Amino acid sequence: MTQTELNLTANYIATLASQPDSKERIALFLDGLLSSFAQKNEPVREEKPSVSAKIRFSQKELTHMSKTFKKEFIANGLAAHVIKRQRSKNCTIYIIRYRRSGYNICVSANSMEEARARFLQATKAENIEKYRRKNYAARGTFAAIAREWLEFKEGKLNPRTHKNYESYCRRFLLPALGDMPVSSVKTIDLNKIMSGVEGRVYEDLRIVLNSVFKYAMASGIISHNPVTLIPFKKTERSNRRALTPDEIRKLLKRLELPEFKAYKRTFLILLFFGLRPCELADARFEGDFLVARNAKRKNGKIEYKKIPVCPQAKEMLDLSAPVECPHITNSLNRIFKRIMEDEAITQYYLRHTFATVCQQYVRPDIVDVWMGDSSERLVGKVYTHFPDKFLYEQMQKVTFDY
């Protein structure tokens, strides 16, 4: 510091000493003076000295702050950075800045009281988003949170379910909400989306929305869930039934036609083993059993079921050939409707047929094992472990009538 700078500093302190709150003013000046020495590229300007320090707010002043910002502000000690700057001989301004966690708030006024008031105004819920830096805002958008949630759920959901949820986000949610900060999404925004869908799409879409906002709440990004007022409407499922012996005969006959013969093996496996169509991809024959991954397990749990080969399946299927799934489920279903010449009959009737026929010959709890369903009784869930030999012997009693 030069002699001129020392003289200016002494004169400024002497001036501050004669003013009200002299100790606070001198402390603020000295704090800023020491800070200026650490900033080599910002030399002290003789004619317009600036001082800086921390300013703290009371809990009472935080009453009208945005809830999200309030949590962040309290965690950082209720403090912001204040700068007192001499703009001209008779003009002093106070600048309050807060630059943390993506927020860049900067307000100024001719008095400390007015600067505090402007800072509090900027932190209200209706204003705070103006002060979020773009790179942080992108991370807080609905699109970013939805992708983060999908990544979190990968491996915890059935792969098919996870893929469907990705599709719902891409088709319905991201076009409408993608660029919006998740904290600014309102119930009315969601209602506009939900009013345009119905049935299973409505049911699944609400599940996705509710899960994304619950994830945002758990991450501390929002404090309330806007999905709460969107009603959950469970879709009424159409009742399916088992095929009659006449319908089974028709199925077998039409599977011999040249246009459908390529699908004969696929639909016979669905009939004689009661698989869900989506379980065909991982199915394989091992000796006298067909082994398939059970698709209906929660939290992505991997579990396999073993279904014995019945006598009629042995006669009509080559057990040495691999199990194939020629099309996705929807396409396969359209083909099955053409085979049966009835739009009301779906390939899921084959699973119903398997369960119905089997229960005519063996106990329901054994059929539960073959279907991959959990028994309702504790004994069935926990304590029962049927040996393969017993299950195979039970299956030999089953006869499909056609």
pLDDT of residue 227: 96
Kindly report the length of the chain: 402
Burial state string for 262-282 with b = 16 or more CB within 10 A and e = fewer than 16: ebbbbbbbbbbbbbbbbbbeb
Whether this prediction's pTM lies above 0.85 is answered by no
Which single residue is written with the structure tokens 């007022």?
229
pLDDT of residue 352: 95
pLDDT per position as a tens digit, 193-217: 999 998 889 999 999 999 999 999 9
Q: What is the DSSP string of 180-210?
A: SBGGG--HHHHHHHHTT--HHHHHHHHHHHH
Take residue 379 and report the two structure tokens written for it. 């004994």
Half-sphere exposure of 213 (CA within 13 A, CB side): 23
Q: What is the DSSP string of 296-350?
A: --GGG---EEEEEPPHHHHHHS-TTSPP---S-HHHHHHHHHHHHT-TT--THHH
Helices and strands counted in the chain (H then E) = 18, 7
pLDDT per position as a tens digit, 250-304: 999 999 999 999 999 999 999 999 999 889 988 999 999 999 988 876 666 778 8
pLDDT of residue 355: 94
> What is the chain's pLDDT, residue by residue, as a tens digit (402 residues)?
566 666 667 776 777 677 666 676 666 666 655 655 544 444 444 445 567 778 888 888 888 888 878 888 888 788 888 888 887 778 888 899 998 877 889 999 988 889 999 999 999 988 888 887 655 555 689 999 999 999 999 988 878 789 999 999 999 999 999 889 998 999 999 999 999 998 889 999 999 999 999 999 998 888 899 999 999 988 776 678 999 999 999 999 999 999 999 999 999 999 999 999 889 988 999 999 999 988 876 666 778 899 999 999 999 999 999 998 888 888 899 999 999 999 889 999 999 999 999 999 999 989 999 998 766 554 455 557 889 999 999 999 999 998
Torsion of CA 337, 339, 245, 281, to 10 degrees: -80
Looking at the DSSP assignment, which residues form a beta bridge with residue 93? Answer: 85
